[in-house]
Amino acid sequence: MMDAIKPVRPGILIGLIGIIFGIGWAFWLILGHERIHSTLEASRAASQQPVQESSHHAENQIESVKHVHSDGKEHMHISKEAPVQEDHPQHGEEHMHAKKETVAQENPSQHAHGAGHADSLMELAHTRLMRGHLHAMGLGLGAIIISVVLSFTSAQSWIKTAASLFAGIGGLIYPLAWIVMGYRTPSMGPELAEASVTLIAGPGVILVLTGVLATALFILKDILTKK
């Protein structure tokens, strides 16, 4: 028994590490919820700051144009357009401030009672962070199962070791892609955050599929050989 499992022990070890990581990440999502939420809010605020600065810069340009022009006809033309350019940003800013104050008042009670987030973007970010935990647990267990099953096939020892390693390493990489995606969602948006982790998730999926296909291939080969 031990001799059969020996070639796949690296994959079993990595699978156990993945499960432990998933459990630890779940505890952090619960115990460090407020800190995670603050980090996500700070990330979104930092991404919105350049947009606000450009808006203020545009308003300053409009004001400078109003002061420079002294011709009555041009001045009247600007004064007609000024409400369209200035009033709406002011109303927009007042609306944003009111919304932020409302969210700030609601969030403490929501966090205290474990309710969902009022902001759909923040809710999506937390959901993606949670999926990192689920995938770490599931793929870690999957790597162990693949390694054990592969150990009883007729595959050569180096193939067993490589396939179990691929399954274990891929099972660690793929959950990290979800975690990175979750942290990037508030600042980059859902689509850009998902696209930004392609280079992380892609290799993870390929490695896991390699381990699964290798195991399935040798199981099928052994079945056909015995027949």
The pTM (predicted TM-score) of the whole model is: 0.69
Residue 188 has pLDDT above 60, yes or no: yes
Q: What is the 3-state secondary structure (H, E, C) of the chain?
A: CHHHHHHHHHHHHHHHHHHHHHHHHHHHHHHCHHHHHHHHHHHHHHHHHHHHHHHHHHHHHHHHHHHHCCCHHHHHHHHHHHHHHHHHHHHHHHHHHHHHHHHHHHHHHHHHHCCCCCCHHHHHHHHHHHHHHHHHHHHHHHHHHHHHHHHCCCCCHHHHHHHHHHHHHHHHHHHHHHHHHHHHHHHHCHHHHHHHCHHHHHHHHHHHHHHHHHHHHHHHHHHHHHC
Q: At what angle do helices 120-151 and 157-188 cross, to 10 degrees?
A: 180
Query: Which CATH number is 8-54+119-226 given?
Result: 1.20.120
Count of beta carbons in the 10 Å neighbourhood of residue 158: 9
Alpha carbon separation from 208 to 21, 203, 204 (Å, rounded) = 17, 9, 6
Give per-residue pLDDT as tens, 70-117: 444 444 444 444 444 444 444 444 544 454 454 444 444 444 434 456
What's the chain's length in residues?
227
* pLDDT tens digits for range 26-80: 999 999 999 998 999 898 888 876 545 555 555 555 555 555 444 444 444 444 4
Distance CA 189, CA 79 (A): 37
Distance separating alpha carbons of residues 201 and 178, to the nearest angstrom: 8
Domain parsing of the chain, residue ranges: 8-54+119-226
